[in-house]
Amino acid sequence: MVQNSDSSPQRLKVWLPLMFSIVLVGGMLIGTQLQQAPLELADKGEIGKERLQTGRLEELVRYIEAKYVDTVDRQEVVDVAIQNILKQLDPHSTYIPADQLKAINEQLEGNFEGIGIEFMMFEDTILVVTPLVGGPSESAGLLAGDRIVMIEDSLVAGAEAVKVNAINLLRGKKGTKVTVGVKRGKDPNLKYFTITRDEIPMHSVDVGFMLNETTGYIKINRFSATTYREFMERLEGMVKEHNMQDLVIDLRQNPGGYLQQATKILSQLFKEEDRLLVYTQGRSTKRSEYETTGKPFFDVREIAVLIDEGSASASEILAGAIQDWDRGVIIGRRSFGKGLVQEQYELKDGSALRLTVARYYTPSGRSIQKPYDDLDEYDQDVYERYETGELYSQDSIQQVDSTRFYTLRDKRTVYGGGGITPDIFVPLDTILLEDEFITLRPFLPQFAFRYLEDHRDEFNYDLKEFQALYDTPDSALEEFFAYVAQEDVEVGQLTPDAKRTLKNLLKARLARQLFQDKGFYSVRNQFDPIVQKALKALQHPTPLTYK
């Protein structure tokens, strides 16, 4: 049910960036193929119109640089010109300046060089959420909860430290050393650790664990160069150690990545050989098909794929193939609708062009790319879904393309032109958009650290005991409200349902500090309606018919 409030759209705009990771870093986590060879735009011997047209741009920049009334930055002018040219194409053709290329590629390549910690900013201080297992910080002795105050001779805590780029100080080439000063617990003295930087993996698979005796759960946050290997490691562990039979694949808020990683995972979910999984085709690129190998390592029985409005690109390729072949059940809300393929070309100055060269099509032949004639409307699509009520009602889903396609086994009707529509719809919880809830939720991660420090003796649980026995007390919520009040945030009246949701989220945050990502997802999944719906569907004799 849509809330009738004039402030609702504004609340959504404030909250959605926290919810939808489709707001991409540099706009780059999308279905991509990398092409390192330079792109020849014309034959070397060609002269004439094409060269003259290119020359006009250079001539224009030279005139601005030489004659314009004020001093201009040539590189900035060129960058703006390039960005405006690409805006005439599609939303996903982008230019990556040289100073951003490394960081963006790291997200897709799956590693970077640094000290190996997961951290957050807590009261103007870098707080170690966890040192990565096997990483240099763990080896040096850093612990979860340590506060990094000094990096070499630079103060990186407090109001005066905001001018220091602490991340750049911590990162560095493999084999180099950095010394950090850490405040631990209530000890007034700093502890110093010298850490040898190393190559740090950026995991694209958050967790893989059993939801019940027969059903496994794998959460994929993006499709990087290491995703298939990570997925198979998690799958192998659950099959061999727990005799896993059914599988839930969580692709919510997964903005995509490498197409080939998605197709390699898909090939492990089909016993049949040469089944079409996806094909790509463009004006100047021939049709390219991706098919199953017929050689899965493990026998996975029933499959549920979880999607929402933040699932895009490679996530939609995986969900589309599962749906088109009636291989599993798709659960959640309509996906983003990004069906374009990019190739990356490195330019001479170290920057790169990521250019849309093809569309991809699901096995039934549908393109799921939503219209992009109006780029402003394209960017606002998720907000419009809120306005139309689609996030709350399956009947409000608007199919922009009425062309009917049919699944390849059961001949069920499916549509393209705007994302993957789930087989089982689960509405968004309206509590998540309440004003008070939006205001309070960002303070939960920081508060969880403080609460755990003050109540450490109350948490003598293993994960299984914590899930079953721990119930966030009302007193914890009162402490939370007091903590938020210290930040000059007014706490209004919360509904009982909103309070219960906050207590559940606090329990999940506490579980994360105690048991890392597995703890967080284990607890959160207990009250996640989409996960619970998936479990019920997989227990049905024919999951595709479960409603």
Q: Helices marked H in 143-300 — which ranges?
A: 166-170, 227-242, 259-267
Q: What is the mean pLDDT of residues 351-364?
A: 95
CB 358 within 8 A of CB 440: no
Q: Which domains does the chain have, with CATH numbers?
A: 1-91+203-429 (3.90.226.10), 111-201 (2.30.42.10), 435-531 (no CATH)
Per-residue model confidence as pLDDT tens digits over 399-433 = 888 889 999 999 999 999 889 999 999 999 988 87
Most confident region among 311-315, 376-380, 486-490 by mean pLDDT:
311-315
**Using CA atoms, how far apart are residues 388 and 89, in angstroms rounded to an integer?**
28
What is the pLDDT at residue 8? 42
Query: Under the phi-then-psi rule, with left for phi > 0, alpha for psi from -120 to 50, and beta for the rest, what region is 269?
Result: alpha
Q: What is the mean pLDDT of residues 473-489?
A: 91
CB 194 within 8 A of CB 220: no
What is the pLDDT at residue 162? 56
Q: Would you say residue 18 has pLDDT above 60? A: no
What is the pLDDT at residue 53? 57
**Using CA atoms, how far apart are residues 410 and 199, in angstroms rounded to an integer?**
47
What is the pLDDT at residue 28? 31
CB 201 within 8 A of CB 233: no
Higher pLDDT, 219 or 141: 219
**Using CA atoms, how far apart are residues 197 and 445, in angstroms rounded to an integer?**
27
Higher pLDDT, 280 or 155: 280
Per-residue model confidence as pLDDT tens digits over 504-546 = 999 999 999 899 899 999 999 999 999 999 999 999 999 999 9
Strand partners, 114: 198
CB 255 within 8 A of CB 333: no
Q: Would you say residue 307 has pLDDT above 50? A: yes
Q: Would you say residue 43 has pLDDT above 50? A: no
- How would you class 78 by CB atoms within 10 Å of its CB: exposed for 0-12, middle for 13-18, buried for 19 or more? middle
Structure tokens at 268: 């492990």
What is the pLDDT at residue 69? 93
User: Mean pLDDT lowest for which of 18-27, 171-180, 223-232, 279-288?
Assistant: 18-27
What is the pLDDT at residue 153? 86
What is the pLDDT at residue 478? 94
What is the pLDDT at residue 503? 96
What is the pLDDT at residue 458? 93
Q: Would you say residue 36 has pLDDT above 80? A: no
Q: Would you say residue 383 has pLDDT above 80? A: no
Q: What is the mean pLDDT of residues 430-457?
A: 87
**Using CA atoms, how far apart are residues 373 and 136, in angstroms rounded to an integer?**
49
What is the pLDDT at residue 21? 33
What is the pLDDT at residue 236? 98
**Using CA atoms, how far apart are residues 174 and 307, in angstroms rounded to an integer?**
37
Please give the DSSP secondary-structure letter assigned to residue 432: G
Strand partners, 155: 150
Q: CB-based contacts of 404: which residues, under 8 Å, 6+ apart?
A: 413, 414, 415
Per-residue model confidence as pLDDT tens digits over 93-118 = 999 988 888 777 777 776 778 898 87
Q: In the chain, what percentage of residues exceed pLDDT 90?
A: 54
Q: What is the mean pLDDT of residues 498-503?
A: 94
* Dihedral sign computed on CA atoms, order 223, 546, 216, 501: positive
What is the pLDDT at residue 26? 29
**Active site (catalytic) residues:** 313, 338, 342
What is the pLDDT at residue 2? 31
CB 406 within 8 A of CB 398: no
Q: What is the mean pLDDT of residues 52-64?
A: 79
C-alpha distances in Å from residue 260, one per residue of 48, 223, 239, 319, 427: 40, 9, 24, 14, 31
Query: Under the phi-then-psi rule, with left for phi > 0, alpha for psi from -120 to 50, and beta for the rest, what region is 449?
Result: alpha
Q: In the predicted model, what is the mean pLDDT of the chain?
A: 86
